Amino acid sequence: MGPEASAATPPFPMPAGSAPILEVSEVAVGYGGVRAVDGVSLGISPGEVLGVIGPNGAGKSSLLGAIGGQVRASRGRVQLGDRDVTRMMPHQRARLGLMRTFQTTSEFSRMTVFENLVTSAEGNSGASLAAVVLHPHRTAVREREVAERAWSVLERFEMTHTADLYGRELSGGQRRLVEIMRCLMREPRVLLLDEPMVGVAPHLTGKLIDDLRGVAREGLGILIVEHALEVVHRLCDRVVVMAFGKVIAAGAFEEVVKDPQVQSAYLS
Amino acid sequence: MSGQLIASIADGVVLAAILAVAAMGFTLQFSLTNVLNLSFGSVMTVGAFVAYLIAVVHLTPWLGIALGGVAGAVTTVVLGRGVLRLYARRRTQLFEMMMVTLGLSLIIDYTVQAISHNNIYGYSVLQGSALEMGPIRVTPVQVGIVILALVVLLATWGALKFTRMGKALRATAVEPGLARACGIPTGRVVLVTWVASGFLCGLAGVVFVISTQSVDYTTGEGFLPLVIAAAILGGVGNLWGAVGASLVMGIVTEVVAGLGQGGYSTVAGFAILVVVLLLRPGAVFGGSEDRQLVL
Amino acid sequence: MQPRKLTLGAALAALSGLLLAACGSTAATSKATLNVGGVIAITGSSSFEGGNLFEGVYPALYEINQAGGVLGHKLALKQVDTRGDPADALPAVQQMLATTSNLVMVAGVDTSSAPTIVPVLNSAHIPMTTVAGESVYDQSPYPYFWRLFPPDSANGTAMALWAKKKGYNRVAAVFGSDPGSQGDLPGNVQSLKALHIPLVANITLTPGQSSYQSQVNQLIAAHPDVIMTEADSGTAGTFFGELKSLGGLVPIIGTQAMDTPPEISAIQSALGPTDFQKYMSMVISAPSQVTPAVTAFNNAVKGDASQIGVSVSQAQQNPFAVVYYDGMIAMALAMVAAKSTDPKVFNSYMSKVCNPGPGKTVVYTFAQGVKALNQGKQIQYFGASGLIDFNKYHNSYGNQEAVSLTSSGAAVPLGTISVQAIEAVKVTGVA
Amino acid sequence: MSAWSFYIGTLLIYFAVDALSAISLNLQFGYAGVVNFGYIVFQAAGAYAAAVVVLGKSAGPGSFQQYVFGAHLPFPLDLVVATLAGALLSLAVGLFSLRRMRRDYQAAMLLIVSLIALQVVSADVPLFNGANGLTGVGWPLGQIFGLSAPASPWVYAAWAVGITIVVYVGVVWLSRSPWGRSLRAMRDHEDAASAMGLNITALRLQVFVIGGAIAGLSGGLLVEYIGAWSPGAWGYAETFVVFTAIFVGGVGNYKGVLLGTLLVPIIFLELPRFLPSIGYPGLTDSLQWVAIGLAWMLCLLFRPRGIIPERRARARRLAATVLEPSPIKEGA
C-alpha cells in the first residue's frame, strides 16, 4: 500500500533558497479502517502562506490535526525546524511554536478576551503549578510581561474594546480573531488555520487577509485550510489540493485550478 | 476444579444474557442521542415493578414481561421527549445532559422508594426444577433468559440491518446533520429509538428480577454500572460488541465468584474495562468531544 | 444582585424557623407527654431494624397509655432515623436531645451507630434499652445502658450447639456482608471450632447482586448437611430461591434476625410454604411459656395494629419486638417505682423492678405493676420474653430455642439451648 | 441549652467538613471541568486512613474489629496521613480515569469507581472491618489537652473551621492564580487549551490530586469527630449532595459554594427533623431525596450558574500595573 501511495503523490517543489520551517512527509491518518489522510507530504518556508483546498471529506482537517497533534498519525513524519515532533503532545508542539486554530470556534467561552490571550502566552506561568506556588514573585513579573504583550496584540488587531468581554459574548468574526490573536501571543514559527474566514463578516475579510499577510511577513509559515477560493487566491503563495486523503495537485493558485484532475475532484 | 470452572462459565452466560438485553438497549440509545443516560437503571426498576404488580394480581408472568417492557418504553419516551427536550431547547450541552439524567434517576428512584415503602418484594415466577448436565446446573427459566437474549439480539440486529427505519437510525447515529439534510425524519428516528431502547430497558428490568426473585427501588441502579461498562467496552452503538462485552463481563464475574471471592466478583467485571482502557484507550474511547446532541 | 438578597432572606427565614421550632417545643406544661426516642435505622440498608423497634415499642406505649400513662403522663414515640450510619446518627440524636422536651428514654440504637451514640446518650443521662449485639457491651461501662437481649456471639454459639445436638457434622455458613449479618458470624464460626464441627464452606454474600448462582453451586459442591445463615431479606430471598431451583436444599438454621417479618416473607416466597416449614429453622431467644405477659403483649399489638407496618401475627412472632416491648414496660415501671420521671432518679430502679428477689410480687403487665407498686409492694416484672435478670453490666438474657414456622406463621418449638450451655462454650474476643 | 450547644457545634463541624468537600469539588468541577462523581471515595480514604493510624495496632481476625496498617500516630501525623491517603488514591485513580476521553465517560468511570470501592471495602473484612466499619477512633490533638471530640464540640468546631479557613484561602488563591486561569481554559475548551501549550493531562491530574488531598483531610476531620466510619457513611449519593450544593450556590464562585453548603447539606437536610413526621417511617427521607433531585434538575434548567455566579475577571486589575492610561478606562 505504502509505495503506491507515495508514488501517487506529486513531488512538492520547495521554494529555493530557504529551508522549510515545517516539513510533513508521508503522513497518514486512519479512523478504524477509513484512511482520512493517505501519505501526504508538504513543506512551508518562513514567510510563506500555503493554502490547502479540496472538497468535503478530503482529509484537510485530519491533516491539520496530525500536524498539530490532536490526531495521531499512523505513519509518516512531522518536522518543525530541525525537531521531529511526530510523537509529541499538542502542548509540546505549541511550546515549540506550532500554533493552530480550529474548524469550529474554540475560544474559551467563559473567560474574557484578555484572559484568552494571556492564557495562551509564551511563558504563561499558569501552565505550571510549581512555578505559581514556588516562585510567586517571578510569576508576578511574568504576568506583567504577558499582559503587556496581550495589550499590544489587542491594539494591533484593534480589539482593545473587547478585552473584558467573555468569549461567548463575541460575534463569530471576533471569535476567529481571538483565536488568531491567541496564537500570536506565542510568536509562533508556524500557524495552522482551519477555515479562519467562516463567520467573518465579508467587509472584514479583506482586513483579516491583510493582517495575516502582515503576520507572515514577520517570518512565520502559515498553513491555511479554506473553502473560499477567492480568499485562498488573495492570501496564499502556493496551494495544495487534496482529495480522498491524497495530494492531487500543488503549485500556484492559477495553475492548480486549471488542472483537470482538480476540476473533476471538485465536480464529483 | 475444572467442573467448577465450567459451572461458573455457564452461570456467567446466564448473567451475560441479562446484561446483554440491557446493554443493547443502552448502546442503541447512546449511539443515537449521545446522551449517557444515567436514568436507564431507574427505568429498569420501573419495568420490574410493573411486572411485580402483574404477579400480585395473579396474571400470567408472561404478561408481566411484556408490560414491563411497555412500561420501560413509555417511561423512556416521556423522559426523552418531555424532559430531555426541554433541556435541549435550552442548549444544554451533551455533558450537562448526563447530569440531567442523573437528577432524573434520583427523582425516579426515590419516588419508587416512597411508593414501595422501601420494602423488598419477593418475585418468584416461572421457576422450575433444575436441569443437570455434567457439572452444569441450570433452571429452565435461565435457559429461557438466554434464549430471550438471543432473540432480542437477532431481532434488533435484523431491524437495524434490513428495515428502512433501521438504516435511517444508523445513518443518523453516524452523521445527524447529513441525515437530516438527506431528508431522513430524524425526529421520528429518535422517537423510535426511545421506544425500542426503552422497551429493552424495561424488559431487562423484568428479566433481572426474575433472576434475583426480588424487587426493590435499587434494583436497576445497582445493575446500571455493569450495563454502562458493557456498552462502553463493546464500543458505543455496536450491538454485537455489547453482547460480546456482556459475555466477557458475565463470565469473569461468575468465575471470580466461583473461586469464592464473591465480594470481588463485580469488581473483576469492571477491572476488565479498566485494563482495556489502560492498554488501548483508543479502542474504547474513539469518540471526540464534538459529538452533538440528537433529540 | 437581586437573587442573592432573596436567598439570604430565605436562609434567614429557615434559620428563624429552626429556632422557633426549638422554642415551641421547650415550653413544657405539667403532666405533659413524655417522649421516648426511637433511635434506629429507618432508612438505608438496615431499615429493617426500625420495623423491629416499632413492632415492640408502639404496642408497649399503647398498653401504658391505656393504663393511664406513667404517673399521669402519656408517653409518645419520637422517631429518629440514624440511617444505620454513625455520621448521620450523631446530628440526628443531638437534634433530638436539643429539641425534645421531656425526653425520658431511648429505645433502639442500631448496631452500626451504637458505638458513637451510646456514649452520647449516656452522658446526657438518657437511659436506653437496646438490642445492639456487639460484645463490647457484655461488660458495658455505661450506667444508662440496658440490654435485654443476647449478644450476637451468644446467638452464634447457640446455633452451633443446636447443630451439635441435631448431629450435623458438615456445616456451611452463608452470611451477608452487611453489618447486621456479619455480627453473628465470628461467634458462630468460633463456636463450631470449639465444638469440633467441621465448617465445609464459609460463603459471604454481597447484597444487591443479580445472582448468587456461583455461590449456590459452590455451596452444593461442598455437600453440607446444614446451612447456618443470616443475610438481609433481598439477598436471602435471591440466594435461597436459587438454591431451591438448583436442587441444593438442606436444613437451614437462621439467626434470631431471620425470624423477623421481612426475612420470613422473603424466604417463604423463595422456598414456598412447604419447603419453608420443612427446611427452615431459627435459633431465637426462647419465648416464655404463655404467661399473662405474653397475652398482654399480643393484645397490645392487636390494640395498636395501625401503627405497625406488618400484620399482627408477624409482629407477635418477632423476637426483637417482644424485647423492645419488655424494655419499654420495664422502664415505665421503673419510673412509677421511683415516683419520678427524671432519668437520673429512675434509671437505677430498672434492676429493682425486673430482677427476681425474695418477697417480690411477680407482675406480668404494666397495670399489674402499677397496682402493686401503689400498694407499696416490691415487684418483679416477668416479661413477655420471659425472666428478666440484669447483671451488673445491665445485661439480661436467657435460654435460646430452635423453632420452625408453619405456613400460617405459628412457631413450632424444636428444642431449647440453655444459657449455661452457651456460656460454657469458650469464645473469646468476638464482636 | 447545653444540648443545643452540642447540636449547633456538631452542625458547625459538619458545615466545615461539607465546605471542604464543596471547595474541593468546585476547584475540580467549577474551575477545571473535571466531574468527580467518585468524590466521596477520596473522603472515605482519608477517614479510614486517619482511623487506622489513630486506633493503634489491630487485634487481628476474630477480634472486635480488624484493619490494616494499625498505628498510634501523634498529632498532626494523623491528618497528614489522611491527606496523603486522599491524594495518593486520587493519583492512582486519576492515572487511568483522567486520560483523554469524553467528559461524560469520565464521569461515568468515576461513578463506577465509587461503587466498586464501596463493594470492596464492605466485602473485605480484613481491610477496614467490612460493613461493620471502624469505631472508637479518637482525636490525637484533643488528647494532648485531655479533650475528647464528641464531648467538646465547640473546641472541635473551632479546630475544624480553622482548618477550613486555611484551605479556603489557599484554594481561592490558587484558583485566582495564573494556574487557576489555565484550569478554566481547559474547562472551556480542552483541545484549544492543549493547542495553546497547556499540558492538559498534568493540569487535570494536579487538580484531581489537590482535590483528593482536601477530600482526605475532610474525611480525617470527620472521623476523628464522630469516632466511627463505615460503608454506610459514603454511599455514592453523598457526592451528589455536595454537587447540588455547588449548583445551588454557584459553580465557580467560592462564596456561592459556601452559601450552597449552608443551604443544602445543612439547612435543607436538617430542617425535616424539625417537622412532624408524615406517613410511614422513612417517607420523609425518600421525599427529601426526590427534592434534591428536583433542585438539581431545576438548577440545571433555570440557573445553571447558581445563586452567586462565577465572577468576571476584569483586565483592568492587570492592566493598571502595565499601561497608563489603560485603554479600558478610556473605553469605559
* 8 Å CB contact of C92 and D62: no
Residue C175: closest C-alpha in chain B: B262
Domain-located, residue B49: yes
Domain-located, residue B294: no
Q: Note the pLDDT of residue D206.
A: 95
Q: Write out the three cell numbers for C199.
A: 465448617
Q: Note the pLDDT of residue B281.
A: 56
Tell me which residue in D185, D197, D327 faces A108 most closely, judged by beta carbons: D185
Tell me which residue in D122, D274, D277 faces C99 most closely, judged by beta carbons: D274
pTM comes to 0.88
Site from B35, B104, B110, B224 to mutate, D interface, most D CB atoms within 10 angstroms: B110
pLDDT of residue C289 exceeding 80, the answer is no
Q: Note the pLDDT of residue B139.
A: 84
Which residues of chain D lie closer than 8 angstroms to B278, CB-CB?
A: 96
Q: Write out the three cell numbers for C385.
A: 420474653
Q: Note the pLDDT of residue B1.
A: 53
Q: Is-contact A6 A77, C-beta < 8 A?
A: no
* Mean pLDDT over each residue of chain A, to the nearest integer: 85
Reduced to 3 states (helix: H, G, I; strand: E, B; else coil), residue C40 is strand
Q: Is-contact C431 C186, C-beta < 8 A?
A: yes
* Residue C347 CB partners (closer than 8 Å, separation 6+): C125, C127, C143, C144, C334
CA distance A120 to D194: 10
* 8 Å CB contact of C204 and B262: yes
CA distance A199 to A195: 9
* Residue B235 CB partners (closer than 8 Å, separation 6+): B241, B242, B283, B284, B286
Residue closest to C310 by CA, chosen among C168, C409, C428: C409
* Residue C42 CB partners (closer than 8 Å, separation 6+): C50, C79, C81, C82, C83, D281, D282, D285
> For residue B138, which phi and psi values (nearest 5 degrees)?
-130, 160
Say which amino acid occupies D83: T
Q: Note the pLDDT of residue D105.
A: 79
Tell me which residue in C47, C113, C124 faces D3 most closely, judged by beta carbons: C124
Residue B193's domain comprises: 2-124+132-284
Chain A to chain D, count of Cβ pairs less than 8 Å apart? 150
* 8 Å CB contact of C245 and B129: yes
User: HSE-up of D232 (CA within 13 Å, CB side)?
Assistant: 31
Rounded alpha-carbon distances, angstroms, from residue C85 to A35, A180, D29: 57, 56, 28
pLDDT of residue D277 exceeding 90, the answer is no
* Mean pLDDT over each residue of chain C, to the nearest integer: 86
- The pLDDT tens digits of the residues spanning C249-268 come to 999 999 988 988 888 888 98
Q: Note the pLDDT of residue C428.
A: 59
Q: Note the pLDDT of residue C30.
A: 54
Q: Is-contact C112 D134, C-beta < 8 A?
A: no
* Mean pLDDT, range A16-32, rounded to an integer: 80
* 8 Å CB contact of C186 and D226: no
Q: Note the pLDDT of residue D112.
A: 84
pLDDT of residue C2 exceeding 50, the answer is no
Domain-located, residue B14: yes
Q: Write out the three cell numbers for A63.
A: 491533516
CA distance A13 to D235: 65
Which residues of chain D lie closer than 8 angstroms to A112, CB-CB?
A: 312-315
Q: Which fold has domain C152-287+395-424?
A: Rossmann fold (3.40.50)
* 8 Å CB contact of B286 and A31: yes
* Mean pLDDT, range D14-26, rounded to an integer: 96
Report the top-level CATH class of A3-107+188-267.
Answer: alpha beta
pLDDT of residue C308 exceeding 80, the answer is no
Q: How far is C144 from chain D (nearest CA, A)?
A: 17
Q: How far is B75 from chain D (nearest CA, A)?
A: 17
Q: Note the pLDDT of residue B288.
A: 44
Q: How far is B199 from chain C (nearest CA, A)?
A: 20
- Contact C409/D at CB under 8 A: no
- The pLDDT tens digits of the residues spanning B178-236 come to 788 888 888 888 999 999 999 999 999 999 999 888 888 888 888 888 898 888 888 87
Q: In this predicted model, which residue has the larger pLDDT, D83 or A244?
A: D83
Q: Write out the three cell numbers for B102.
A: 442523573
Residue C51: how many other CB atoms lie within 10 Å: 26
Provide, for chain D, the percentages of residues in helix, strand and coil under a 3-state DSSP scheme, each rounded to the nearest 5.
70, 0, 25
Tell me which residue in C42, C86, C206 faces D281 most closely, judged by beta carbons: C42
* 8 Å CB contact of D123 and B100: no
CA distance C134 to C128: 15
- Contact D226/C at CB under 8 A: yes
Cell 509505495 sits on residue: A3
Kindly indicate the confidence band of residue C165, based on its pLDDT and cuts at 50, 70 and 90. very high
Which residues of chain B lie closer than 8 angstroms to A72, CB-CB?
A: 282
Kindly indicate the confidence band of residue A8, based on its pLDDT and cuts at 50, 70 and 90. very low
Q: How far is B229 from chain A (nearest CA, A)?
A: 21
- Contact B208/C at CB under 8 A: yes
Q: Are strands A34-44 and A22-31 parallel, antiparallel or unpaired?
A: antiparallel
Asked, colleague to colleague, whether C34-150+290-351 and C152-287+395-424 share their fold, the answer is yes
Residue closest to B143 by CA, chosen among B121, B127, B158, B159: B127
* Residue B154 CB partners (closer than 8 Å, separation 6+): none
Residue closest to C156 by CA, chosen among C132, C190, C131: C190
* 8 Å CB contact of A32 and B290: no
The proportion of chain C whose per-residue pLDDT surpasses 70, expressed as a percent, equals: 92
Q: How far is A177 from chain B (nearest CA, A)?
A: 21
pLDDT of residue B286 exceeding 50, the answer is no
Rounded alpha-carbon distances, angstroms, from residue D111 to B221, B229, C210, D19, D36: 12, 11, 19, 21, 8
Q: Is-contact A106 A167, C-beta < 8 A?
A: no
Tell me which residue in D112, D120, D301 faces B86 most closely, judged by beta carbons: D301
Site from B15, B112, B120, B255 to mutate, C interface, most C CB atoms within 10 angstroms: B120
Interface of C with D in 236-275 (CB under 8 A): none
Q: Is-contact C160 C188, C-beta < 8 A?
A: yes
* Mean pLDDT, range C170-194, rounded to an integer: 86
Please indicate whether chains C and A are in contact, defined as at least 3 beta carbon pairs under 8 Å: no
Q: Is-contact B268 B276, C-beta < 8 A?
A: no
* 8 Å CB contact of A70 and D331: no
Which residues of chain B lie closer than 8 angstroms to A104, CB-CB?
A: 290
Domain chopping of chain C, boundaries: 34-150+290-351, 152-287+395-424
Interface of A with D in 148-167 (CB under 8 A): 148, 151, 154-155, 160-161, 163-164, 166-167
* Mean pLDDT, range C319-341, rounded to an integer: 94
- Contact A32/B at CB under 8 A: yes
pLDDT of residue A264 exceeding 70, the answer is yes
Q: Write out the three cell numbers for D218.
A: 475532610
Q: Could you tell me which CATH number the domain at C34-150+290-351 has?
A: 3.40.50.2300
CA distance D272 to D261: 17
pLDDT of residue A85 exceeding 90, the answer is yes
* 8 Å CB contact of B286 and A104: no
Q: Are strands A22-31 and A75-80 parallel, antiparallel or unpaired?
A: antiparallel
Please indicate whether chains C and D are in contact, defined as at least 3 beta carbon pairs under 8 Å: yes
pLDDT of residue B98 exceeding 60, the answer is yes
Residue closest to B218 by CA, chosen among B118, B72, B103: B118
User: HSE-up of A189 (CA within 13 Å, CB side)?
Assistant: 19
- Contact B114/C at CB under 8 A: no
pLDDT of residue B35 exceeding 80, the answer is yes
- The pLDDT tens digits of the residues spanning C363-388 come to 999 999 999 999 999 999 999 988 89
> For residue D154, which phi and psi values (nearest 5 degrees)?
-75, -35
CA distance B285 to D99: 10
Least confident window among B2-6, C136-140, C422-426, D316-320:
D316-320
Tell me which residue in C85, C95, C182 faces D233 most closely, judged by beta carbons: C85
CA distance D273 to D285: 10
Q: Is-contact C324 C385, C-beta < 8 A?
A: no
* 8 Å CB contact of A32 and B286: yes
* 8 Å CB contact of B214 and C203: no
Q: Is-contact A256 A249, C-beta < 8 A?
A: yes
Tell me which residue in B100, B110, B267 faces D290 most closely, judged by beta carbons: B110
- Which is it for the CA torsion D22, D24, D29, D34, positive or negative? negative
Residue D271: closest C-alpha in chain C: C18
Which residues of chain D lie closer than 8 angstroms to C22, CB-CB?
A: 4, 274
Domain-located, residue B295: no
Q: Is-contact B22 B38, C-beta < 8 A?
A: no
Q: Write out the three cell numbers for D67.
A: 484493619
* 8 Å CB contact of A126 and D315: no
Site from B27, B100, B106 to mutate, D interface, most D CB atoms within 10 angstroms: B106
Q: How far is B114 from chain D (nearest CA, A)?
A: 5
- Contact B212/C at CB under 8 A: yes
pLDDT of residue B49 exceeding 60, the answer is yes
Cell 408490560 sits on residue: B67
* Mean pLDDT, range A43-47, rounded to an integer: 91
Strands (E), B56-189: 121-122, 131-133, 136-138
* Mean pLDDT over each residue of chain B, to the nearest integer: 86
Q: Tell me chain C's radius of gyration from C-alpha atoms.
A: 23
Q: Residue B58, class by beta-carbon neighbours within 10 Å (0-12 exposed, 13-18 middle, 19+ buried)?
A: exposed
The proportion of chain B whose per-residue pLDDT surpasses 90, expressed as a percent, equals: 39
CA distance C216 to C247: 10
Domain chopping of chain A, boundaries: 3-107+188-267, 108-169
On the question of a cis peptide bond just before residue D76, with omega within 30 degrees of 0, the verdict is yes
Reduced to 3 states (helix: H, G, I; strand: E, B; else coil), residue C81 is strand
- Contact B214/C at CB under 8 A: yes
pLDDT of residue C411 exceeding 60, the answer is yes
* 8 Å CB contact of D318 and A161: no
Domain chopping of chain D, boundaries: 3-234, 237-326
Q: How far is B257 from chain C (nearest CA, A)?
A: 6
Cell 448436565 sits on residue: B133
Reduced to 3 states (helix: H, G, I; strand: E, B; else coil), residue C176 is strand
- Contact D204/A at CB under 8 A: no
Tell me which residue in A106, A127, A139 faces D182 most closely, judged by beta carbons: A127
ipTM for the assembly? 0.86
Q: Note the pLDDT of residue A104.
A: 84
> Which range among A213-227, B230-244, C167-181, D206-220 has the greatest average pLDDT?
D206-220
Q: Write out the three cell numbers for C305.
A: 395494629
Reduced to 3 states (helix: H, G, I; strand: E, B; else coil), residue B237 is coil
Q: Is-contact D188 B289, C-beta < 8 A?
A: no
Which residues of chain A lie closer than 8 angstroms to D252, CB-CB?
A: 110
Q: Is-contact A156 D321, C-beta < 8 A?
A: no
